[in-house]
Amino acid sequence: MKSWHQSSVDLDNYPLYRQSMQRHYDAVLPAGTEVHFTGVPVSTWAGLSPSSRWLNLKLRR
């Protein structure tokens, strides 16, 4: 079986997040399931996480 994980963060800058998700999937999905991780381009959030970017914009108002 194959599964797709679509993330709203750029996974290159958040390796611990990706590793954590992989550990979770390894624990809950049947053995042999392949998980494909996809994130947004690195430039999407200007080096911040989506929640940090949103908070930063909110505080500027």
What pTM value is reported for the model? 0.71
* Least confident segment among 8-22, 23-37, 42-56: 42-56
User: What are the beta bridge partners of residue 2?
Assistant: 34
Summarize the confidence of residues 21-30 as an average pLDDT.
96
Query: Above 90 in pLDDT, residue 51?
Result: no
SS3 8: coil
Tell me the one-letter amino acid at 38: T
Distance CA 13, CA 53 (A): 14
17, 5 contact by CB (below 8 A)? no
Overall residue count recorded for the chain in this entry: 61
